[in-house]
Amino acid sequence: MATERGRIQISGFDSTRVEEREPISGWVEDTGTETVGRYQRAFARFRRNRIALLGVATVITMALVALFSYPTQVFGITIQPFHLAPFSPTETGFLNPDMGGRYERISWTHPMGTDRDARDIFSRWLIGGRYSVSIGFIVVGITSVVGIIYGSISGYYGGWIDELMMRILDVIFAFPGLVLALVIVAMLGGGYWQLVLAFSLFGWAGYARLIRGEILKVKENEYVLAAKALGARDRKVIFRHIVPNAITPVIVQASLAVGTVVIGVAALGFLGIGFDPGTPEWGTMLDATLDTLITGPEGSIPWWATFFPGAGIFMFVMAMNLVGDGLNDALNAQEDVAVTPGGGG
């Protein structure tokens, strides 16, 4: 804290400002404690952030629940035998009279009620995360790697290569991601891998622009010049010396992008073009091409059929954004200290 005397603030003598240092600075504390790497420090900070940890716990729980809700079979061989969901996601009360009819209210048998086809919403809700969540992680994995490679080449070489590659990005940024994905799915048809492609084909552009900006700064460092002077190849200079020092904003961006993709996948499901109708996916459960909300039998309002699937998306994306926010705080803390010394009133 800055020492306050009247309205004049004296700053710059704060001991808190020098507790965390970059290891390259060569600064050694009098007691001789070892400096720790930036990721160790970031991890330690992240672990102290309870809200971010709550986000991590929620994401992991929802992923595990989706995985273990219903047995998984690959080529007819069961590789995941657990069965948490009380009913099969496609089982309907029309064929199984014990399950009850359509739009059953919330009860012990149906903790989230039943939908218009008399299927148990709870069972479908549990399994619903499988599609959008796994697509979210796969897409972010693909797009961040492609974006890092594209952006590093553009930023490192500069000149007309950079100019050309950035103009291509400008063209991609002329379209909202969801509109591109919508048109791609329209042309390829819905389905799991079609959706992965739809969100990956242009989704890398954001990472490319982000890491290019960082690389323009990082490549001015002396150690880059030193590496080049020692005869390191471009590829090695970029991916061993520059990218590791430019990647932190990409990590934050990637963690936040998972939520964006999950909402995008669910939105296409909601529009009725992402998956086959009847797929137990959160967005498809709210399918707009079928009337979910307004028409209940005898003028009743089956709010549960609308509320729970959307709440699943909201919970997951919120948790993922809390993680991203926590990562942002943990990785940028050094800069924050530098940016806000003294502080205003």
Partner 1 sequence: MSLQRFILRRLLLVIPILFGVSVITFGLVHLSPSDPISLIHGANPDMTQDELDRIIARYGFDQPVYIQYIDWITSVMVGDFGEEFATGRPAADLIWRRLPPTIALGIFGWVFAIVIAVPTGVYAAVRKDKLGDHVSRVIALSGISIPNFWLGLLLILFGALIIGLWPVVAPRSPLYSPDMLWYLILPGITIGTASSAIMMRIMRSAMAEEMNKDYVTTARAKGLPERTVVLKHVLRNSLISVVTVAAFLTAGILAGSVVVEVVFNWPGLGRELVDAVIAREVNIILVITLFTGVALVLANLLADIAYAMLDPRIRY
Summarize as ranges the residues that interact with partner 1 (CB under 8 A).
Answer: 7, 167-168, 170-180, 182-188, 259, 263, 266-267, 270-273, 283, 286, 288-289, 292-294, 301, 303, 306-307, 309-311, 313-314, 317-318, 320-322, 325, 339-340, 342-345
Point out which residues pair with 73 in neighbouring strands: 78
93-121 burial: b if 16+ Cβ within 10 Å, else e: beeeeebbebbbeeeeebebbbbbebbbb
Smallest gap, in angstroms, from Cβ of residue 110 to partner 1?
20
Q: Which is nearer to partner 1, 172 or 227 (CB)?
A: 172
Q: Which is nearer to partner 1, 154 or 243 (CB)?
A: 154
Q: What phi, psi does 9 have (nearest 5°)?
A: -110, 135
Smallest gap, in angstroms, from Cβ of residue 209 to partner 1?
12
Distance of CA 8 to the CA centre of its chain: 44
Q: Which is nearer to partner 1, 70 or 270 (CB)?
A: 270
DSSP 119-144: BBHHHHHHHHHHHHHHHHHHHHHHHH
Smallest gap, in angstroms, from Cβ of residue 64 to partner 1?
20
Look at residues 343, 314, 330, 232 and name the one whose alpha carbon lies nearest to residue 4: 343
Smallest gap, in angstroms, from Cβ of residue 48 to partner 1?
15
Q: Which is nearer to partner 1, 36 or 333 (CB)?
A: 333
| Torsional class of 289: left (φ above 0), alpha (ψ -120 to 50), beta (otherwise) | alpha
Smallest gap, in angstroms, from Cβ of residue 260 to partner 1?
9
Q: Which is nearer to partner 1, 9 or 88 (CB)?
A: 9
First-to-final CA distance of the chain: 13
Smallest gap, in angstroms, from Cβ of residue 187 to partner 1?
4
Look at residues 304, 299, 287, 214 and name the one whose alpha carbon lies nearest to residue 250: 214
Q: Which is nearer to partner 1, 238 or 268 (CB)?
A: 268
C-alpha distances in Å from residue 139, one per residue of 29, 143, 284:
44, 6, 19
